[in-house]
Amino acid sequence: MTYTLFPVIWLVLLFSTETPAEEASQESLPFGVGERLDFKVYLGFILGGKASMSINSIEDIDGYPCYKIVSEARSTKTVDFFYKVRDRIVSWRDVEGGFTRQYDKHLREGKYKADRRVEYKPENAKAYYYRNNSKTPDTLKIDGLVYDVLSAFYQVRVYDLKVGNSIWLDVHDIDKQYRLEIVVLRKEKIKVPAGEFDCFVVEPKLMSSGIFRREGKMQIWLSDDKYKLPIIMRSKLYFGSVWAKLVSYKLSENE
C-alpha cells in the first residue's frame, strides 16, 4: 500500500461507549442531500492540496435507497510536480439503516494506481470484492451490518459525543473487517477559514492501512452542535504533520 500524502482525508470516526451511546433516529440525521464540505490540506505549513466530501443524491442499490457520498482529494500544481494525487471514493449508505451497500475507491497517488469496488449483501452475510475493474469478484464473508470507511465517518455524526467516552463500530475496509475505537478526549474552541467553532477532539486508537496509519497519530476536531462537522483533521506521520482544515461548507437541502 502506498504512502499517501493525504491520509487524513478518508476519515473514519466510529464510536460506542461502555454505556449505550445516544443515537439520533435516521429521520433526524444531521446531514442529507446537498451537504458539501471543502477543505485545504497542509503539509506542515505548505498548502499541499484540497479535498471535499459531499452527499450528491439518493440512488437505488439492489432496490434500497442509499445516500451517494463522494469524497475527493487532489494535490496542488506544486505538489503535482513530485507526487500527484487524484483520489475519489464513493460510498452508498443505506438511508434506512446507515450501513454500506456499495463502496468504490479510485486512487491515483504518484505512480500508484488502484481501483476497488465492494458490493455488500448483508442479507446474505456476503460481500463481493472487485479489483482493478475485474469482472470476476472475490466473495467475502461479512459479520452483520458493516460500514466502509467513508459511510462510517457519517455514522459517527449521528451519536451524542461525551468527553471520556469511547465508541465502537464494525468497519469493513475493502477486504478486512475490524472494530475501531475512538476516544473523545476533550472540548476545544478553534478558528478556521470556515469560522470559529466549539469542538470535541477525538482520537482513533486502532488504525487501518491507508486510512489511519499505524505509524502515526491522528486527532479530529468535530463541531459541538447537531451537525458534528469535521473542522480540523490532523495526522502526525514520520515526515511531519498533515492537516485538513475546513474552508467552507453547505448544509443539506433540508436545513
Give the β-pairing of 166-173 and 240-250.
unpaired
- Above 60 in pLDDT, residue 200? yes
Average pLDDT of span 194-206:
88
State residue 206's pLDDT score. 55
**pLDDT band of 180, cuts 50, 70, 90:** confident
- Above 60 in pLDDT, residue 20? no
Return the residue matching grid coordinates 503535482. 80
Residue with more model confidence, 167 or 12: 167
Please give the radius of gyration of the chain, using alpha carbons only, rounded to the nearest integer: 17
| Mean pLDDT across the chain | 82
* Among 46-60, 77-91, 168-182, 228-242, the least confident range: 168-182
Average pLDDT of span 54-79:
94
State residue 183's pLDDT score. 83
Average pLDDT of span 149-158:
84
Average pLDDT of span 145-152:
86
Q: What is the pLDDT of residues 221-255, one digit of tens each?
A: 999 999 999 999 988 766 677 889 999 999 997 76
State residue 51's pLDDT score. 94
Residue with more model confidence, 156 or 201: 201
Angle subtended at Cα 19 by Cα 15 and Cα 22, rounded to the nearest 5 degrees: 60
Average pLDDT of span 77-91:
92
**Protein fold of 26-247:** YmcC-like fold (2.40.360)
State residue 53's pLDDT score. 94
- Domain range annotation of the chain: 26-247
State residue 8's pLDDT score. 39
